[in-house]
Amino acid sequence: MKKIISLSLAFFALISCETAKPALQGPEALQKKADSLATELAEVKTVLGYVLERGMNSSFDQVKQEIERANKTWDLQIDQSPSLGNPNAKITIVEFTEFECPYCARIAPYLDSITKAHPDKIQLVYKHFPLSFHANAPAASAAAIAAQKQGKFW
């Protein structure tokens, strides 16, 4: 809790120092500074909320990095992967799966049903992810890739 309080105090001290400086020239500069401070305050609130929710004992920068990792967006190549649904859909679900995984088998009917229920709104993309501890997964993945090349994946 000490780190959280000291981070809060340091932040408010920083704001106080910033507001004690002479005003920048013009309303645009003041608006820019206000926007910058609002962004910083929102970031601090997010980090503090994250720390309080999880009861973590980490530095501000460590928590900030963890939040950034959790919210990272990945740019995936999906144009060569097997897919169902509208390629221009607003929602694309990319499933990393394999044929021997029992958990993948449990989710497959749900993904299939929502894709069929909303064929224009959802695209389902299959990505091969054979796990090393499933003995037949690599061979099944290779067979599926061969089937895809022949237009017979699904």
pLDDT digits (tens, 9 = 90+) for 21-78: 555 568 888 888 888 888 888 888 887 777 777 776 777 788 788 888 888 887 889 9
Beta strands in 86-141 (DSSP E): 91-97, 122-128
Per-residue pLDDT at 147 = 96
3-state helix, strand, coil in the chain (%, to 5): 55, 10, 30
Q: Which residue has the higher pLDDT, 9 or 98?
A: 98
- The reported pTM is 0.55
